[in-house]
Amino acid sequence: MGLRPTGTASLPELPPPRIGNLRGGPGWGKVFYERVICGPQPKGAPMNRRSFLKATGLSATALPLARHLSLAAGEPPRPNILWIMAEDICPDLSCYGAKGVHTPHLDKLASEGVRFTNAFTTGAVCSASRSAMITGFHQNYIGAHQHRTPKNDKKPLPYGIKPIPHLLEEAGYYTCLMDRKTDCNFVTDRPFFVGKDWKERKADQPFFAQYTSHGTHRRWNRDPERPIDIKDVEIPPYYPDNDYVRRDWTNGLEQIQLMDRDVGSLLRRLDDEGLADNTAVFFIGDHGRCHIRGKQFLYDGGIHIPMMMRWPGTVQPGQVSDDMVMSIDICATILNVAGVTPPHELHGEDLLRPNRSEREYVFAARGKMDSTHDAMRAIRSKDFKYILNLMPERAYCQLNEYKERMYPMLALMNVMNMKGELTPEQAHFMAAKKSQEELYDLRTDPHEVHNVASAPAYQDTKRKLRAELEKWREKIKDQGVSDEFRQGGWPSTYPTRTLEEWEAKVEEWRAYLFDGAPHPRTKENIHGSRSGP
Q: Which residues bind to Ca ion, rule: CB under 5 A?
A: 87-88, 126, 286
Q: Give least dist CB 84 to Ca ion, A.
A: 14
**Reduced to 3 states, what is the DSSP secondary structure of residue 16?**
coil
Q: Give least dist CB 298 to Ca ion, A.
A: 15
Dihedral of CA 375/285/446/28: which sign?
negative
Q: Give least dist CB 217 to Ca ion, A.
A: 6
**Reduced to 3 states, what is the DSSP secondary structure of residue 133?**
helix
* Rounded Cα distance, 238 and 76, in Å: 52
Beta-bridge partner residues of 114: 309, 319
Residue 126 or 270: the one with the smaller Cβ distance to Ca ion is: 126
How many alpha carbons fall within 13 Å on the CB side of residue 310?
A: 22
How crowded is residue 491: how many other Cβ atoms within 10 Å of its Cβ?
A: 14
Q: End-to-end CA distance of the chain: give it in Å, rounded.
A: 34
* Rounded Cα distance, 54 and 50, in Å: 6
Residue 289 or 462: the one with the smaller Cβ distance to Ca ion is: 289
Question: CA torsion 163→141→463→424, rounded to 10°?
Answer: -70
Does an H or E element contain 213, and which?
A: strand 207-213
Q: Give least dist CB 332 to Ca ion, A.
A: 22
For 40-84, the three-class secondary structure string (H helix, E strand, C coil) is CCCCCCCCCHHHHHHHHCCCCCHHHHHCCCCCCCCCCCCCEEEEE
Residue 114 or 364: the one with the smaller Cβ distance to Ca ion is: 364
Residue 169 or 286: the one with the smaller Cβ distance to Ca ion is: 286
Residue 194 or 406: the one with the smaller Cβ distance to Ca ion is: 406
Q: 169-183: b or e for each residue (b if 16 or more CB lie within 10 Å)?
A: bebbbbbbbbeebbb
> Residue with CB nearest Ca ion?
126
Q: Give least dist CB 121 to Ca ion, A.
A: 9
Residue 286 or 329: the one with the smaller Cβ distance to Ca ion is: 286
Residue 99 or 219: the one with the smaller Cβ distance to Ca ion is: 219
Q: Give least dist CB 40 to Ca ion, A.
A: 38
Q: Give least dist CB 126 to Ca ion, A.
A: 4
Dihedral of CA 221/242/400/297: which sign?
negative
Q: Give least dist CB 88 to Ca ion, A.
A: 5
Q: Give least dist CB 180 to Ca ion, A.
A: 14
Q: Rounded to whole angstroms, what are the CA distances from 458 to 22, 205, 387, 461?
A: 37, 55, 14, 5
* Rounded Cα distance, 67 and 341, in Å: 10
Residue 194 or 290: the one with the smaller Cβ distance to Ca ion is: 290
On whether the CB atoms of residues 428 and 239 are closer than 8 A, the answer is: no
Spatial CB neighbours of 332, under 8 Å, sequence gap ≥ 6: 22, 136, 342, 346, 348, 349, 350, 351, 353
Q: Give least dist CB 125 to Ca ion, A.
A: 7
Q: Give least dist CB 403 to Ca ion, A.
A: 14
**Reduced to 3 states, what is the DSSP secondary structure of residue 387?**
strand
Residue 109 or 126: the one with the smaller Cβ distance to Ca ion is: 126
Q: Identify residue 143 by its one-letter amino acid code.
A: G
Residue 126 or 397: the one with the smaller Cβ distance to Ca ion is: 126
Q: 268-289: b or e for each residue (b if 16 or more CB lie within 10 Å)?
A: eebeeeeebbbbbbbbbbbbbb
Residue 352 DSSP class? T
Q: Give least dist CB 286 to Ca ion, A.
A: 4
E strands in 327-472? 362-366, 376-380, 384-389, 437-441
Residue 210 or 278: the one with the smaller Cβ distance to Ca ion is: 210
Q: Identify residue 86 by its one-letter amino acid code.
A: A
Residue 22 or 125: the one with the smaller Cβ distance to Ca ion is: 125
Residue 126 or 465: the one with the smaller Cβ distance to Ca ion is: 126
Question: Which DSSP string corresponds to 279-345?
Answer: EEEEEEESSS-SSTTSTTSSSHHHHEEEEEEE-TTTBPTTEEEEEEEETTHHHHHHHHHHT---SS-
Q: Give least dist CB 183 to Ca ion, A.
A: 8
